[in-house]
Amino acid sequence: MSKKIIIVGGVGGGATVAAQIRRTNKTAEILVLERNGYVSFANCGMPYYLGGTITDRQKLIYPEEKFAQKYDLTVQTHANVTKINREQKSVVYEKYKTEHKADYDILILSPGASPVLPDIAGLQQSNTFPLRTIEDMDNIEQFIQSNNPQSAAIIGGGFIGLEMAESLCHRGFSCSLVDRSEHVLKRIDKEMAIHIDEHLQEKGIALYVNDGLKSFSDNGTTLHLSSDKTIQADMTIMAIGIKPNTELAIDAGLEIGETGGIKVNQYMQTTDPTIFALGDAVEVTDFITREPAHIALAWPAHRQAFIISSFLSGNPISDDGIIGSSILRVFDLTVAATGQNKQTLIDNEIAFEETIMKGYSHAAYYPGSKELWMQIVYDKNTGQLFGGSVIGFDGADKRMAVLATAIKGKLTVADLASLELGYSPIYSGAKDPLNILGYKAMEQLED
């Protein structure tokens, strides 16, 4: 008898695990239940649609019918799962106000996360928006088309906040960005993040750091900050963070981890071995510290989908931890980070050294060479790499990829110096900036 597999939630986690399972199991009955209207869409592309870089909305969306047909499974959108009955191995879901029940042998939870929307005095939902779903994106675009706003405030200087600041600025908006931290993108250490802050201001973004949103007035168009400064904005994007959607798991009696995500083992099993979980709702293990972490990124969700499908096919592969590699464009800058930053190492009482340097994207004598700032943190005794960040106008992405590989391979700063990387003056120096960074770190360890 074929197994009945129910997947709660689509997009990066649920849709990916459905496709992965079908590749290894041709007979399972797979049902995907997605509470919103789209089972699979490119949520990372939404800011670029709103900025006009992506002009065809449909390119962001994998049509439900096409997805179901390609992977020979059943998809129900607008299907909100309200209850898991672990004893009966069934779920209850509502679709268009009608209640349905479905039985499972294996249940996979991919409920994702929701944007944090604090209860702020004077907030008007008509001109204040999160950006998490296609519906959110459509609401923003409809507001722009209908109201012709000229200014925007972005609350939060993380990935979504920075991408939306760039996108709306490209669209002609006057943009203000507010963040509670002392610099944007707190994933990056201060010494590196200063280059991002400066670049934002060079591009005309009014930047308010060490500040927060206190209240709105004038129908949501005047923002009052904690510093008593005010901002005038026709619309506001709320991008202060996300919280895992764990209500369903909690109601089912599944264990929640200390970071607020669903607790899973190395095979993505919850405390019920017939229920798996993945994506933005789960707690993961940090590769370096081995401590619980909540890392909501696309790559981990896709890897977790592979881990689950491998386990169900009888070829288990365990999760060895997440390093949180991330990259984004901020106007002309590429900003990339992987592994730990200084603050997390301090919090975990891990002794480390730090090396920072400025290099160039390729040989300085070849036209077009651009500045490249690089930072690594590493074990004070052994030199093992713990993390790093790279910021620059060209070549930052490939240096970050090398650092991520080095961290996963548990390489040291001496190994970094000895890496034989491809050289041409068009692409690098005879010694790549990463080699030089490794040599500098070795010198620090010798002092």
Catalytic residue positions, numbered: 44
Half-sphere exposure of 348 (CA within 13 A, CB side): 18
What residues contact residue 284 under an 8 Å CB cut-off, 6+ apart? Answer: 261, 264, 292, 293, 294, 295, 300, 319, 321, 322
Phi, psi of 99 (to 5 degrees): -90, 140
H or E stretch at 343: helix 342-347
Nearest residue to 175 via CA among 235, 120, 217: 235
* CA 253, chain centre distance (Å): 27
| CA pair distance 283, 266, nearest whole angstrom | 11
CB 274, CB 105: distance < 8 Å: yes
| CA pair distance 47, 55, nearest whole angstrom | 11
- The DSSP symbol for 384 reads B
* Bridging pattern class, strands 292-293 and 284-285: antiparallel
* Bridging pattern class, strands 222-225 and 230-232: antiparallel
CB 11, CB 41: distance < 8 Å: yes
| CA pair distance 214, 234, nearest whole angstrom | 17
Q: Which two tokens stand for residue 18?
A: 């459905």
What residues contact residue 157 under an 8 Å CB cut-off, 6+ apart? Answer: 177, 178, 179, 181, 183, 184, 185, 186, 209
Q: Which residues pair with 230 in a beta bridge?
A: 224
Half-sphere exposure of 134 (CA within 13 A, CB side): 17
Per DSSP, the three-state class of 426 is coil
For residue 404, give Cα distances in angstroms to 21, 295, 299, 385, 433. Answer: 28, 16, 13, 10, 15
Half-sphere exposure of 320 (CA within 13 A, CB side): 5
| CA pair distance 267, 269, nearest whole angstrom | 6
Q: Which two tokens stand for residue 128?
A: 């204040």
